[in-house]
Amino acid sequence: MVWMSRIKVRKATDEDGDWIDWLIREQWGSDFVASRGKRHVPCRLPALLALIDGKRGGLLTFRIADQECEIVTLNSLQERQGIGNALVSKMIEMAKIAHCTRIWLVTTNDNTDAMRFYQKMGFRFSAIHRNAVDEARKLKPSIPEYSNSGIRITDEVEMEYQM
């Protein structure tokens, strides 16, 4: 595991825009993501960057509305190194300062790694939106029918962290 002292988290700046745009396209297959029937353009959202020895290693995009913080995307370029942990921990800290009542996110039913990660961070399942991915595919037809592990992608799973 990368020593936490090597990971620094900071707010994204305008200078990070090209890298954020590249990462979103690379990891998400386009410049936008779809969840809960909405289209989100992560490069237009506030973001946190994780730096390892000064180099970009992770990204968390979010939005705050109505005293709730939604994590829209989370990406780590080196898994199991503490990057996601550092980003989510910073988001929790920022959400407390912003007086949010909860942090929430949506993943899909096939993303067991994400569900496991967020549960370890203290998130709990708050809703399962059955067949919601069919609606998301209307916004983003490139969402595959099946995951790489062979699981049919059908539902959106909502998770939350209560403040």
- Report pLDDT for 5: 67
Per cent of the chain over pLDDT 70 is 97
- Report pLDDT for 79: 83
Cα(64)–Cα(103) distance, rounded to whole angstroms?
9
Domain boundary assignment for the chain:
4-162
Give the pLDDT band (50/70/90) at residue 1. very low
For residue 117 the two structure tokens come to: 């990660």
The count of other CB atoms within 10 Å of the CB of residue 101 is 12
Q: What is the pTM of this model?
A: 0.93
pLDDT tens column, 6-62: 899 999 999 999 999 999 999 998 999 988 888 899 999 999 999 998 899 999 999
- Altogether, the residues listed in the chain come to a count of 163
Assigned CATH for 4-162 = 3.40.630.30
pLDDT tens column, 97-118: 999 999 999 999 999 999 999 9
